[in-house]
Amino acid sequence: MKQTLISLFTISIFFLFNFWSANSQTNLDTIQYKEKYGLRLGIDLSKPLKTLLEDDYRGLEIIGDYRVYKNYYLAAEIGNEELSITEQNISATAKGSYIKLGADYNAYDNWAGMENVIFVGMRYAFSTFSQTLEEYTVSGSSQYFPPNIVEGPFETKGLTASWVELVAGLKVELLNNLYLGANVQLKRRITQTTPSNFDNLAIPGFNRTYDESLFGVGYSYTISYLIPLYKKAKN
Amino acid sequence: MLRKKIKEFDLKILGVGLIFIALINFSCQRDDICPDSTPITPLLRISFFDIENPEVPKPPTNLRVKAADMDSIYLNRVNVSEISIPLKTDIDFTEYEFILNAPIITQADSVSNSNTDKIRFTYARNEIYINRACSYKVNYINLKASPQTLAEDSVRWIKNIVVEEENIENETNTHIFIYH
């Protein structure tokens, strides 16, 4: 017991010294340090994972950003999704593609040698999709007759929607140029076309909709790789 | 030593944003339940009047109401001058039996003076989307009510049927007047 404590203490001291010396070394070349600028490409990990785990979901999203100036990035996402919504009395599937274009601002002031990102961003998003009414039960105030369940599918093609997104998240450099990230999105719909005598229960890229609200939410877990194009001194 | 120089202002924006998103998500869970206040498929409202005195409501005695093709009874031995009954939403007609002086069910075999009249309601159906919780409702248009002849029926207790509202879109007004 005593021996373990002693060895633990020694190891801690050793690490502490190590840290100290390592840090004082990096401090030396801070003045000269250059940051990488380039194109970062990746995918949303949550979508392929959900495709595997959930029967009624299929989706893929490619993400990318380009560092334009200091802490500012141009950012875009392109994706394709098939989302199913099952409510108590109705079920529907939305199928289609979407694109999101916008910018991110890195609010994190890295110390030398690190290039992590804690960001807030805005997107304009556009989706073209189809909405399929799979099944519904006609709502009646009496249970006297057996429920009238109407089975589809009734598909409406050529629908569109557009919205703006507020994004907040982080990207951590795990290995050299390889980033793991997570973000949450708050969406507000601007326009949408709906099937006649029906509504969009979900929109690819927007996720499920809410009846009395233009807002939607989303999240992503991302893995991306930075292709460095040039370096520029940090100031 | 592990000092992270995060600009305080930017962190605040991030924090407020995250809380906002959480609130939105939380407050929007309610629209999965169809509230009672939402108008769904309306019932057919019927009022009974005296044939001798058409202005005066007259409740039929011990009225039993059941759909012709159903075994279960919708209303049994009621004495009211107004009833609301459901119409089928999957086909364009519903047939109902209106049984006057209905016997108590346990004494069904005993001799009674019950009188069964059958009415066939025909209509066109208009399905209207409400929302994700309430799905669709049906409004009935061009309602017609016609008495059906029953083999064992010698005397009809229903003397006259008047369709007051051809289109059944709500339950605020009576749709059918029955005189007896």
Highest mean pLDDT among A88-102, B27-41, B96-110: A88-102
Give the residue-averaged pLDDT of A207-235. Answer: 89
Question: Above pLDDT 70, what percent of chain A?
Answer: 86
How crowded is the C-beta side of B131, counted as CA atoms within 13 Å?
Answer: 14
Going from the N-terminus, what domains does chain A have, and what CATH number goes with each?
A: 37-233 (2.40.160.20)
B41 touches chain A (CB under 8 A): yes
3-state secondary structure at position B58: coil
Does pLDDT of A159 surpass 50? yes
| pLDDT tens sequence across B121-148 | 999 999 999 999 999 999 999 999 998 8
Confidence band (pLDDT; 50, 70, 90) for A7?
low
**What confidence score (pLDDT) does residue B101 get?**
85
Q: Is the link from the previous residue into B42 a cis peptide, with omega within 30 of 0?
A: no
Neighbours of A75 (CB within 10 A): 20
Q: If you measure CA to CA, which chain B residue comes closest to A108?
A: B6
Q: Name the residue among B122, B180, B121 with its Cα closest to residue B156.
A: B180
Tell me the C-alpha distance between B164 and B168, whole Å.
Answer: 10
The rounded mean pLDDT for chain B is 83
Exposed e or buried b for every residue in A43-67, given b needs 16+ CB within 10 A? bbbbbeebeeeeeebbbebebbbbb
Q: Name the residue among B37, B32, B42, B43 with its Cα closest to residue B135.
A: B32
Give the residue-averaged pLDDT of A90-94. Answer: 95
Does pLDDT of A20 surpass 90? no
Maximal C-alpha separation, chain B: 102
Q: Could you say which DSSP state residue B29 is in?
A: G
Tell me the C-alpha distance between A83 and A92, whole Å.
Answer: 8
Confidence band (pLDDT; 50, 70, 90) for A19?
very low
**Residue B106, min C-alpha distance to chain A (Å):** 22
**What confidence score (pLDDT) does residue A18 get?**
47
| pLDDT tens sequence across A166-181 | 999 999 999 999 999 9
pTM above 0.95, yes or no: no
Please name the member of A23, A142, A213 whose beta carbon is closest to the beta carbon of B43: A142
Q: If you measure CA to CA, which chain B residue comes closest to A119?
A: B14
**What confidence score (pLDDT) does residue A16 get?**
46
Q: Name the residue among B160, B161, B127 with its Cα closest to residue B141.
A: B127
CA distances from A48 to A45, A55, A82, A170 (A): 6, 12, 12, 20
Give the residue-averaged pLDDT of A116-131. Answer: 95
| pLDDT tens sequence across B74-99 | 998 899 999 999 999 999 999 999 99
Tell me the C-alpha distance between A165 and A203, whole Å.
Answer: 14
**What confidence score (pLDDT) does residue B22 get?**
58
Q: Which residue has the higher pLDDT, A2 or A103?
A: A103
**What confidence score (pLDDT) does residue B24 get?**
55
Confidence band (pLDDT; 50, 70, 90) for B30?
low
Q: For testing the chain A interface, which of B28, B40, B75 should be mutated: the one with the most A CBs within 10 Å?
A: B28
Look up the ipTM and state it. 0.76
Burial (CB < 10 A; 0-12, 13-18, 19+), residue B113, is exposed
Does pLDDT of A110 surpass 50? yes
**What confidence score (pLDDT) does residue B17 get?**
63
Q: Do B128 and A197 touch (CB under 8 A)?
A: yes
Highest mean pLDDT among A203-207, B8-12, B155-159, B168-172: A203-207
A139 touches chain B (CB under 8 A): yes
**Which residues of A are less than 8 Å from B7 in CB distance?**
107, 109
Neighbours of B138 (CB within 10 A): 22
**What confidence score (pLDDT) does residue B149 get?**
76
A182 touches chain B (CB under 8 A): no
**Residue B159, min C-alpha distance to chain A (Å):** 27
CA distances from B102 to A34, A128, A137, B121, B177 (A): 95, 61, 34, 22, 21
The rounded mean pLDDT for chain A is 87
Does pLDDT of B72 surpass 50? yes
Please name the member of A139, A215, A217 whose beta carbon is closest to the beta carbon of B137: A139
Pairing of strands B44-49, B176-179: parallel
Tell me the C-alpha distance between A84 and B144, whole Å.
Answer: 41
Tell me the C-alpha distance between A224 and A76, whole Å.
Answer: 13
Confidence band (pLDDT; 50, 70, 90) for A70?
confident
3-state secondary structure at position B85: strand
- What torsion, rounded to 10 degrees, do the Cα atoms B153, B158, B161, B167 define? -80
Residue given tokens 């011990």 in the structure block: B62
